[in-house]
Structure 1
Amino acid sequence: MPVNWRHNFRDGSHLCLKTLGRMGLQVAETNFTQFDGQSTIVVKRYDRLIEGNNVYRVHQEDFCQATSTLPTNKYESNRGPSALKIIKTLREARAPETEVQKFIEGLIGNYLLGAPDAHGKNYSILHLPDGRVQLAPFYDIASGLPYEHVSNDGFPKKNDGLRKAAMSIGGERQFGRVSSKHWSRFAREAKIDEEWLRMTVSAMTYALPIAMAEVFENESEAIGNSELPSKLYPKVEHLCATTQTLLEHDV
């Protein structure tokens, strides 16, 4: 039976964020705790500055706001922000090129996790008090690989919206289909160093399954008796291996 996607995305997001964080990406801090016996994932705010007894709000814009896109059009397939549009917006805001690289690492991470919901509202920028702009920590990331919608007749829907990334890479959105030519095209269109991109993708395909296994071990209390890890890990591992193979070939 498929894992119930409606009830497990919260836990999946916690595990996916922990995985990317363990790889060195900047992610929102989440922790598992219980209140009166109720299991809860607590997310620490990153849009606040604390100085002594004073707390200051840091202005945040998601990339629908930053690109004047209606939130109903948050997906690239519905005229929402693409990865290339986000990169252009960061550069126009005079963000350092390191922020562009951070976004690309997040884009790769979302792809390797099979996260279908990384749309324009799930990436943001922070406007710092000194006038600088930087990419906000990654948040709301959850793999769709263990899940599938089920019709009223009990059979999975093939076109369930969980098999494609929200943003294309070199013109391809389907998980497991991005190959060498797509990475090359993305590097050209994004005006980034192709060798750096390929090295980053390759390194992340090897590091992500290792990091995920370590997170599962450390988050045993949060996981409990959930079947999510056994459904998630093999598919993520397979997607990472496939991505590494296709990185060297065109399809």
Structure 2
Amino acid sequence: PLRGPAVGDWFDNLLPDGDAIRLRLSEQLALGDADAFDLLTVLGRDCVGAVQLLPPGMTPDGFDRIDATPLDEAGVERAIDAALAGGRRRRDDDADGPLRVALPGAQEKIALLRRDGRWSRPRGATPTTHLLKLPLGRTGHPDAEPRDAVWNEWLCARVMAAFGLPMAACEVARFGRYEVLVVERFDRVVQAGTDADGDRIVRRPQEDLCQALGVPGARRREADGGPGLRDILRVLDAGTNAAADKAAVVKAQMVFWLLAATGGHAKNHSIFLAPGGGHRLAPFYDVQSAWPVIGGGGLRAIELQKKTRLALALREKSAHWGLSDIGARHWDDVARLAGQGDARALRDEIAGRLPDVLRRVEAELPPDFSAPLAEAVLGGIRTLAPRLHDAV
């Protein structure tokens, strides 16, 4: 068998990032002082990508069919309640189906199955198809209002998509007292069946860049000794869609900068794995803006903006992290690192498309969208945009 820190780190990256979430899971499942493999033994039936982890002697029976317990709106609300509850819960099936929470990331979430607009809780080897992200816990910035997290992420996803970047599809939905971000899993593919055997949901092999590089999730940020942009580009350079994937990552970093999106670390970049060892970039996800916290006028806002840093430094010889420290020449350095020459064409594209992008996104805002949130994020983009051509 394979052994060593890289193996343990790979599996540890399948679990939530936060110690508080892991502790609550251990308490719910009466696992005591549980390590990653203890948790995955119970929760590993529906991990990210194609991985299924089962107790010894158990087989993934029924992987080729859909078996699930239907949920109405109240049932989804109860599933969220159960995921957030303290104390012990049963390890086996409860009234709404098995607990499925082997989901990485710092934000609270659950996973369910949606088919033809109807929700259900998968049973056995049937995968989930959607994540329900909750407006709780630490979000895009430690000082952010948790209730804004759902709409913040939705808005950032619309901006990213409007710039032509591949994004995980998402929408906002309400289940009882919970307003959640519903994210379609891009590591799941519905495969049509015959009238006799029905459809099935196929797991698509995927791993994040911490897993691909053998780095523990605790070091996901470059400032903590984790992968940098050069490391991510090196992985993509060995893939089957290298030029386009590297160009997408450089473009995404530029949009992250405009959004003041500080969570673009290695765990929030993923690759699809193909037969024969090939790989290519997966859609972007988990993008949230810090502008609601750091925006506005006054000395405090200026100081906060000076302290706000991207997760990945822009560097050639020296590192540039801060929103206020980055200008045209730093993007040129990144473009050269990706083998693109300078970034003039990309800077011109982003600046040229910006007015239309903002008009499109503003037209998509629902009538009850928070005006302060929209003003903070879209206004922050307008504030930074002129610096795309500023040498700094």
TM-score over 0.5 (shorter chain) = yes
Determine the C-alpha separation between the residues in 1 that align with 2:326 and 2:334.
10
In 2, are the aligned partners of 1:145 and 1:163 still within 8 Å (CA)?
no
Q: Residue 135 of structure 1 is aligned with which of 281, 291, 304?
A: 281
| SS of 1:220 mapped into structure 2 | coil
Distance in 2 between residues matched to 1:7 and 1:128, nearest whole Å: 38
Q: CA deviation at 1:20?
A: 1.3
- Shift in alpha-carbon separation, 1:156–1:192, aligned structure 2, 3 A: closer
What SS does the corresponding residue of 1:55 show, helix, strand or coil?
Answer: strand
Deviation (angstroms), 1:113: 1.2
Q: What's 1:230 paired with?
A: 375
Amino acid at match of 2:149: F
On the 8 A contact 2:190/2:201 being kept in 1, the answer is yes
Residues 141-175 of structure 1: CA deviation (Å, up to 9, x unaligned)? 11112215xxxxxx889569971111112321111
Separation in 1 of the partners of 2:323 and 2:292? 13
TM-aligned CA deviation for residue 98 of structure 1: 1.3
Compare 26-35 and 184-193 and name the one that shifted more: 184-193
2:361 corresponds in structure 1 to 215
How far did 1:179 drift? 2.2
2:195 maps to 1:55:
no
What is the SS of the residue equivalent to 2:248? helix
* Letter aligned with residue 250 of structure 2: I
Correspondence for 1:31:
171
Q: 1:160 to 1:180 in 2, by over 3 A?
A: closer
In 2, Cα distance between equivalents of 1:156 and 1:234: 13
Unaligned stretches of 5+ residues in structure 2? 1-142, 193-198, 295-299
* Mapped partners of 2:167, 2:303: distance in 1: 31
How many residue pairs match? The answer is: 237
Q: How does 1:179-194 map to 2 (within 5 A)?
A: 179-194=327-342
Shift of 1:214: 2.1
CA contact (8 A) 2:250 2:334 kept: no
Whether 2:224 is the aligned partner of 1:78: answer yes
Contact 1:20 1:208 in 2 (8 A): no
Does structure 2 retain, via aligned residues, the 8 Å contact 1:209–1:233? no
Matched to 1:80, the amino acid is G
Aligned to 2:184: 44
User: Structure 1 residues 39 and 211, CA, compared in 2 at 3 Å: closer, same or farther?
Assistant: same
Distance in structure 2 (CA, Å) of the matches to 1:143 and 1:28 = 16
Q: Does 2:205 correspond to 1:65? A: no
Q: CA deviation at 1:224?
A: 2.8
Shift of the 242–161 alpha-carbon distance from structure 1 to 2, 3 Å rule, reads closer
Q: Give the deviation of 1:191 after TM superposition.
A: 2.7
Partner of 1:152: none
The 3-state SS of whatever aligns with 1:227 is helix
CA apart distance, 1:49: 1.8
Note if contact 2:305-2:323 (Cα within 8 Å) is conserved in structure 1.
Answer: no
Counterpart CA distance in 1 for 2:157 and 2:308 is 20
Aligned match of 2:160: 20
Aligned 8 A contact 1:119 1:167 in 2: yes
Cα distance in 1 between the residues matched to 2:144 and 2:226: 28
Residue identity in the other structure for 1:100: K
Q: Quote how far apart the aligned CAs of 1:227 are.
A: 1.9
Question: SS of the counterpart of 1:146?
Answer: helix
Deviation at 1:225, TM superposition (A): 4.0
Aligned twin of 1:163: 308
Please identify which structure carries the higher helix content. Answer: 1
Against the structure 1 CA distance between its residues 191 and 157, is the aligned structure 2 distance closer, same or farther, given a 3 Å change threshold?
closer
Q: Give 2:326's aligned residue.
A: 178
> Following the alignment from structure 1 to structure 2, what is the Cα–Cα distance between the partners of residues 156 and 218?
28
- 1:229-251 CA distance string (max 9 Å, x none): 122221111111222x31xxx33
Contact 1:114 1:175 survives alignment (8 Å): yes
**Which blocks of at least 5 consecutive residues in structure 1 are unaligned?**
149-154
SS at 1:90 equivalent: helix
Counterpart secondary structure, 1:173: strand
CA RMSD of aligned residues (A): 2.6
Partner letter of residue 327 of structure 2?
S
Per-residue deviation, residues 185-238 of structure 1 (Å, max 9, x unmatched): 2233333222xx2211221133235323422321215x5345201222211111
Distance in 1 between residues matched to 2:275 and 2:208, nearest whole Å = 18
Q: Distance between the aligned counterparts of 2:310 and 2:227, measured in 1?
A: 13
- Give 1:130 shift: 6.8
Partner Cα distance (1:212, 1:17) in 2? 13
